[in-house]
Amino acid sequence: MGCLKALFVQVGCVVILIAAAIFGWIYRRDLLDVYRRVRGLPPAAEVVYVAPQPGDADRARAAFEQLARRGGPAYVDLTAGDVAALVDAALANAPRRAVDSVRVALAADEVTVRASLDLSGVPPRLLGPLAGALERREPVVVGGGLAVDSAGRIHWTITALRVKEFPFPRSTIPAILRALKVPGLAGGAVPIPAPAAVGDVRVSPEHVRLYRASPR
């Protein structure tokens, strides 16, 4: 009897720890705000998401054309709206449009996208224990850095994914992206459509800076 009681106590402790971890994750921003107020620290900078606007795609295309033009600038800057238009275009090429309402926020070395995701094409086994708690369409936040390959193509490597505020392990991201049939996918890297080659890319909270490719 004593052994069973000890077992129930252990199971109860595990359940409490799991519940506390989930509670802490869901309300992490509020807890951090309380911590900052108690310590007298300045509030965290607000993350601003920007949706693509009419003309953003054309402005991004014109920026690439400037880089490709003989005697053009050494670099051009894209706004969060320009990047949102490029990401939206990349996801729109999928056979089944699973992502919409794309909005983009920029941070140091990272592009974060908030959107609405249709999960109907994702096998429940990839969603793990959350599968039964998720609706067909849920809010999603994905983030990662931009990089340029040897051919001058831009790739967005997704390293973080949250569905309905629940984070997924990084190791599961490529399989989920494959289930969504993201075109041109290479592991967790999503190709960003660009009409001209790029030499390098840098991401800051203010803009994405594209550098001119060196002549070959």
Token duo for residue 7: 């077992």
pLDDT given for residue 90 in this prediction:
83
What does the pLDDT average to over 28-44?
51
- Asked whether residue 32 falls in the same domain as residue 81, the answer is no
What does the pLDDT average to over 45-52?
82
Token duo for residue 6: 């000890």
The CATH number linked to 188 is 3.15.10
User: 45 pLDDT exceeds 90?
Assistant: no
15 within domain boundaries: yes
Among 148, 122, 154, 125, CA closest to 137: 122
- Asked whether residue 195 falls in the same domain as residue 137, the answer is yes
pLDDT given for residue 13 in this prediction:
57
Contact 22, 130 (CB under 8 A): no
- Asked whether residue 83 falls in the same domain as residue 114, the answer is yes
Q: For the segment 118-169, what is each residue's pLDDT rounded down to a tens digit?
A: 998 889 898 888 888 889 999 999 999 999 998 889 999 999 999 988 888 9
Q: Total structural domains in the chain? A: 2
pLDDT given for residue 23 in this prediction:
46
Please report, rounded to a whole number, the percentage of residues in the chain having pLDDT higher than 90: 41
Strands 189-192 and 75-78: unpaired
- Asked whether residue 8 falls in the same domain as residue 73, the answer is no
45 within domain boundaries: no
The one-character DSSP state at 169 is -
201 within domain boundaries: yes
Greater confidence, 205 or 216? 205
Cβ-Cβ contacts under 8 Å for 153 (sequence gap 6 or more): 191, 192, 194, 197, 198
Residue type, 133: A
Alpha-carbon distance of 73 to 58, in angstroms, equals 18
pLDDT given for residue 206 in this prediction:
94
Q: For the segment 58-94, what is each residue's pLDDT rounded down to a tens digit?
A: 999 999 999 888 888 999 999 999 999 988 888 877 7
- Asked whether residue 90 falls in the same domain as residue 193, the answer is yes
- Asked whether residue 8 falls in the same domain as residue 69, the answer is no
Domain interval for residue 31: 2-39
Greater confidence, 113 or 166? 113
48 within domain boundaries: no
Mean pLDDT in the chain?
81
Alpha-carbon distance of 75 to 147, in angstroms, equals 15
Alpha-carbon distance of 146 to 189, in angstroms, equals 9
- Asked whether residue 34 falls in the same domain as residue 121, the answer is no
